[in-house]
Amino acid sequence: MVTEEELSQMSPEEIAEFQKQNCVFCQIASGKVPSKTVYSDEESIAVLDINPAAKGHILLMPKEHFSVMPQLPEELAEHLFMVCKSLSQAALKALNCKGTTIFIANGVAAGQKAPHFMIHIIPRNDDDGLSMEIPSKSFPKKDMEAVGAILKKVLAKKQKVDAEVVKEEKAEPAKVKKTKTKDSSKKKKASNKKKGSSKKEAKKEKFDLDDITKVLGD
Amino acid sequence: MNCDYCEIVEKGEKLFEDDKLVVALSPVPASLGHVLVIPKEHFTILEQIPDFIAGHLFNVTNTVSTSVFETLRVHGINIIIENGISAGQRIAHFAINIVPRSENDGLGFNWTPKKFDDEEMSTVELQLKEQTDTIGGFEKEEKKALTVDDAHETIPTNEDDYMLKQLNRLP
């Protein structure tokens, strides 16, 4: 085992490597730890949860080690969700259940127990006694409006920065070309590439923390 | 047709919107900043949604949840889909819930593990495997669908073809 002290001296890369080596789900993905695999392809694997909420509780995860969802590359996220859809369908057919709950926990506070991103697919039946229901609460209108306004601003900013990143990318190779309709064509490209650059952008951007503290302070 | 989410799509207050989906605050939030990602088209359950739209929905969910996480400085995020009435779905329009979480917020999306013996687990494994055998065609399917669509516009109709042939036959 590694001591605390050794751990504190590791570089972030080394810690990531250490986590990978000790991740039980990576070992499941590579077949070192036996599991009941219900589906597997090049990028993803789906196994039965050994601590299931219901019969047929499936864990779908990328074979590569990602701790949380924001780290997932765009294409992999898309692929995972398409597999997730198919698995939900498979569960409905195979187990004769009446619905599925698809559940992702990001962060310990959200109930994440292992540092490997995964999607839970839980077969559901009427009166199965699972308390997975999302409660309905109400919050002061003022707070809702404030949160809405901030998120709207952040998402718009994100979109705008993405568009600019794409513009830059596009401008370099195509400097010579000057089109009359550059505005519309750029916008099109931007929307296509939007999410590809969103991760880079997310790190770059500093959010307006003053706005948030105002809300939270209320 | 009165669907609460179609109403949001049509005239509700939105945080973000593109050609396939809208992002809006949940009208019945579990926590402050509870956001919904809703496809514009009225699909009831996940299984009805075309693969490429499902993929896109998930990607936007990822981006938005990162934004929510960073902006509201919460401790975690749950992404929950209630797929079917048995799963707690209350509105017959598919939506992805992004629920911000804080420590000790009392939202327990938890379960007590059930125990099934090895035989039961193996049976379930086999039952599921039978159905998952066919998974994997979606990407091709989606691209095929697109190219067929493109081709549809450029390939001349049979009638044109016939006329061309006739023309070629002319001495």
Q: pTM of the prediction?
A: 0.76
| A168 and A109 inside one domain | no
Q: Which has the closest alpha carbon to B46: A121, A96, A89? A: A89
* Residue-level pLDDT at A132: 84
State whether residue B171 sits within 8 Å of chain A by CB.
Answer: no
CA distance linking residue B119 with residue A174, whole number of Å: 63
Q: B20, B26, B80, B122: best mutation site toward chain A, by most A Cβ within 10 Å?
A: B80
| A165 and A199 inside one domain | yes
Query: What residues 65-94 of chain B have any CB closer than 8 A to a CB of chain A?
Result: 65-89
Q: Which two tokens stand for residue A43?
A: 């990028």
Cβ-defined contact of B125 to A36 (cutoff 8 Å): yes
Gap from B22 CA to chain A (nearest CA, Å): 12
Considering only the beta carbons, identify the residue of B46, B74, B110 that sits closest to A85. B46
Task: Read off the CATH number of the domain in which A62 is found.
Answer: 3.30.428.10
| A40 and A128 inside one domain | yes
For chain A, how many structural domains are there in total? 2
| A150 and A81 inside one domain | no
Highest mean pLDDT among A10-14, A39-43, A182-186: A39-43
Cβ-defined contact of A100 to B62 (cutoff 8 Å): no
* Residue-level pLDDT at A209: 42
Q: Does residue A119 fall inside a structural domain?
A: yes
Cβ-defined contact of A134 to B80 (cutoff 8 Å): yes
ipTM of the complex: 0.79
Considering only the beta carbons, identify the residue of A81, A87, A134 that sits closest to B97. A134
Chain B residues within 8 A of A154 when measuring between CB atoms = 67, 70-71
Non-local (6+) Cβ contacts of B57 within 8 A are A81, B20, B21, B37, B39, B49, B96
Q: Which two tokens stand for residue A197?
A: 């650059």
Q: Which has the closest alpha carbon to B25: A206, A141, A212? A: A141
Considering only the beta carbons, identify the residue of B32, B57, B63 that sits closest to A198. B63
Domain residue ranges of chain B, discontinuous segments joined by + = 4-101, 118-169
State whether residue A23 sits within 8 Å of chain B by CB.
Answer: no
Q: Does residue A31 fall inside a structural domain?
A: no
Q: Does residue A20 fall inside a structural domain?
A: no
pLDDT at A46 over 90: yes
Gap from B138 CA to chain A (nearest CA, Å): 7
What superfamily in CATH does domain B4-101 come from?
A: HIT-like (3.30.428.10)
pLDDT at A182 over 50: no
Strand partners, B16: B23
| A49 and A111 inside one domain | yes
pLDDT grade, residue A189 (50/70/90)? very low
Give the strand order in the sheet containing B21-25: A37-40, A44-48, A58-62, A119-124, A99-106, B76-83, B96-101, B35-39, B21-25, B16-17
Q: Does residue A3 fall inside a structural domain?
A: no
- pLDDT 10s per residue in chain B (171 long)? 689 999 999 988 899 999 899 999 999 999 999 999 999 999 999 999 999 899 999 999 999 999 999 999 899 999 999 999 999 999 999 999 999 999 888 887 888 889 999 999 999 999 999 988 888 776 544 444 444 455 455 555 566 666 666 666 665
Considering only the beta carbons, identify the residue of B101, B124, B138 that sits closest to A86. B138
Gap from A157 CA to chain B (nearest CA, Å): 11
Cβ-defined contact of B83 to A103 (cutoff 8 Å): no
| A41 and A93 inside one domain | yes
Q: Is A206 exposed, middle or buried (0-12, 13-18, 19+ CB in 10 A)?
A: exposed
State whether residue B145 sits within 8 Å of chain A by CB.
Answer: no
> Structural domain of residue A66, as residue ranges?
36-136
Q: B58, B129, B140: best mutation site toward chain A, by most A Cβ within 10 Å?
A: B58
Q: A28, A38, A126, A195: best mutation site toward chain B, by most B Cβ within 10 Å?
A: A38
Q: Does residue A58 fall inside a structural domain?
A: yes
State whether residue B118 sits within 8 Å of chain A by CB.
Answer: no
Q: Does residue A189 fall inside a structural domain?
A: yes
Q: Which two tokens stand for residue B64?
A: 């938005």
